[in-house]
Copies of this chain bind each other. A is one copy, B any other.
Amino acid sequence: MSKRPLILVTNDDGYTASGIRNLIDAAKKYGDVIVVAPDKPQSGMGHAITINNTLRLQEIEVNDVYREYACSGTPVDCVKLAIANILKRKPDLILSGINHGSNSSISVIYSGTMSAAVEGAIEGIPSVGFSLCDYSINANFSACLPHVEKVIKHVLENGLENGTCLNVNFPKYKGEPYKGIKICRQAKAVWIEKFDERHDPNGRPYYWLTGYLQNPDKENDTDEFALSDYYVSVVPTQYDLTAYQAIQKLKPLE
């Protein structure tokens, strides 16, 4: 029996993405790695699960020290299927990413990368989602790696508070090392959407989602602030959505 930690790696860009390849290489230094990742891009899937359809699972590479599977479902499906049917024991750590694109501030809620980490937390497993604020397929992940390793080591040694996971975002690489890590809160930003209306060859309209992030939250303890200052942002993230501060005020409704 191996005494090395068992690490499950997933993402939402699909198992062939450069981001997950970098994350797998980092994870292998710290434990036995099993990869269960989507077989195609699943960005923006949030905490979606596959209820009304079936899932497929394809073995990509299976040997004594390393196993990898591509799954037809969402990132959350990958975590659930790995834990329920693939892994022989609960993993010691779940890593998701490294996402090609930001998952800071409100984007956490739309993010398949982060939803995989949140699902890990729900299942009681220390979990971390990593994202680089660079959508390019050829994004440079090299500056992320020392910090990825630092976070992996910290979480393996200290665990995480019950009911939480970590949302780690890296600024777009500017040719020099990041300044360091900042523990932050989620900025109160919001996406301002426009749907681009076009017409198909038959003259019928269709819509493309476009938009930009509007951040009126200028305090210096947010993830957006840290990222703009070239720090790595780390936000402890929870799945208990209860707004406890609002309970008392609603009592007249009883």
Which B residue sits closest to A166, measured CB to CB? B250
In the complex, A74→B250 CA distance in Å? 29
Contact of A52 with B by CB under 8 A: yes
Q: Let me know if A47 and B234 touch, CB within 8 A.
A: no
Contact of A65 with B by CB under 8 A: no
Contact of A81 with B by CB under 8 A: yes
Q: Kindly identify which residue among B209, B234, B236 contacts A51, using a CB–CB cutoff of 8 Å.
A: B209
Q: Let me know if A243 and B253 touch, CB within 8 A.
A: no
Q: Let me know if B194 and A84 touch, CB within 8 A.
A: yes
* Interface pick from A1-9, A20-28, A169-177, A184-192: A184-192
Would you give the shortest CB distance from A14 to chain B, in whole angstroms?
11
Q: Which of A189-211 contact B (CB under 8 A)?
A: 190, 193-195, 197-198, 204-209
* A65-86 Cβ-contact flags toward B at 8 Å (1 or 0): 0000000001011001101110
Chain B residues near A56 (CB-CB < 8 A): 204-207
Q: Let me know if B241 and A238 touch, CB within 8 A.
A: yes
Chain B residues near A64 (CB-CB < 8 A): none
Q: Let me know if B43 and A52 touch, CB within 8 A.
A: yes
Chain B residues near A252 (CB-CB < 8 A): 154
Contact of A131 with B by CB under 8 A: no
Contact of A17 with B by CB under 8 A: no
Contact of A181 with B by CB under 8 A: yes
Beyond A180-B254, A184-B247: 17 further Cβ-contacts under 8 Å? A46-B47, A46-B48, A46-B115, A47-B110, A48-B74, A49-B110, A50-B209, A51-B209, A54-B208, A108-B241, A109-B241, A124-B190, A161-B243, A161-B246, A163-B243, A236-B242, A241-B241
A-B contact pairs, 14 of them (CB 8 A): A47-B47, A55-B207, A56-B207, A84-B194, A122-B190, A160-B246, A164-B246, A167-B241, A183-B247, A183-B254, A185-B247, A236-B242, A236-B243, A236-B246
